[in-house]
Structure 1
Amino acid sequence: MSFGVVLVDDDVCLLKGLELAIDKYARIELRGTASGCEEGMALIRRVNPDVIVVDIDLKDGDGYELIRAARKENPLLECLVVTSHEEDTYVFKALEAGATGYKLKSAGPVAIVEAMMELWEGGAPLCPDIARMILRRFHKPIADDAPPQLGTKEKEVLELMFKGFSRKELAAILNVSTNTIGTHVKRIYTKLDVSSRSEAIYEATRLGLISLDGH
């Protein structure tokens, strides 16, 4: 099944590289590009994409605003942030705004397009350094919070989700059906009070439910 993508970035060279890379993927339909928040939001409303790829620094605002506005109108929209910023403040603001993936521009157009595919297939594409940074920042539980109790299988699924495996891959690794994985994921989301994979990872690391070594 194909899916539609909108690119929002004022980096002309990157946009050109992404357009060329997307041409090689039959499943991805590029529905348009924009260089700013206002133009991007108008385009998103007009073409109704499944995935948006957004830079943080835009000519008339920041990508956080665009992500919040777009996901408010379509909560199921997948949002991949592609930026040069690798500092933790940028990463966490993006996740809080509703981003479901975060890649650095230095990864290159092909890796970014592969991240779009991963996102659409249920993954949560994060650069390895970014993923470890999230764990380092939030691996200790907050003393005032009573973290939710996850079952053994739920914790195992959550740890594999953090590593970026799709639901099909999780089912194969754990030797269960995708429906069973879906049930575990729903329970995890309910217990963590979240609605997306990136939010689940954020909350799990914040509450200390996932440790650096995955145990």
Structure 2
Amino acid sequence: MRIGFAAAASLDAKTADVPVVAVRLSETVSSLLAGGEGIFDVVALDMSLADGSRPGDNVRRIVEAGYPVLIFSVGDRPKDIRDALGAGAAGVSRKSEDIWRTLDLVRKVASGETIDNQDLAVAIDGDRDFVSAHLSDRENEALALYAAGFTRGQIAKRMNVSPNTVGTNIRRIREKYAAAGRAASTKLELHHRAVEDGILPRPGL
């Protein structure tokens, strides 16, 4: 398998015992793609390149050149991951993952698969920018408490407002998520949104 690394090959077969050969290591997409076509079977793309280019733009250029892309990410930049996936990246590999797991993902992407993992789900669904752009500080606070399991009465006491005000905040939050195409009609769904958007910590963290 030939793999190109940006920042930081061709596959003769798509099996677990086929060696992965890095044929080019580049600090920018421009230098990676220089020198002809059909050089790689897959490109492993770091989220941060030397030229400060945007991940989504980089993925788009690589895909247009005819190569599938696997993103390498620490996992702390969900907006950039969403942009990269929206531009056509086939999957995400966390830099903390075992090397054998990463190589398996490289082979799968080279064979035309799209990786369905938790990072993708979080990247697609989560949007911390949504919170800062659409929720007021009071709505943010109400969501954090409500999603954590507090009742409306308990939230009202903590926020020094009436239960009706809490109910109004929760209703507005639901409406804003619904308008963004992210269902939040139940308390469980609101909990998921709060975790996705960084209002509540992920389980186990």
Q: Which has the larger radius of gyration?
A: 2
Higher helix share: 1
TM-score (norm 2): 0.50
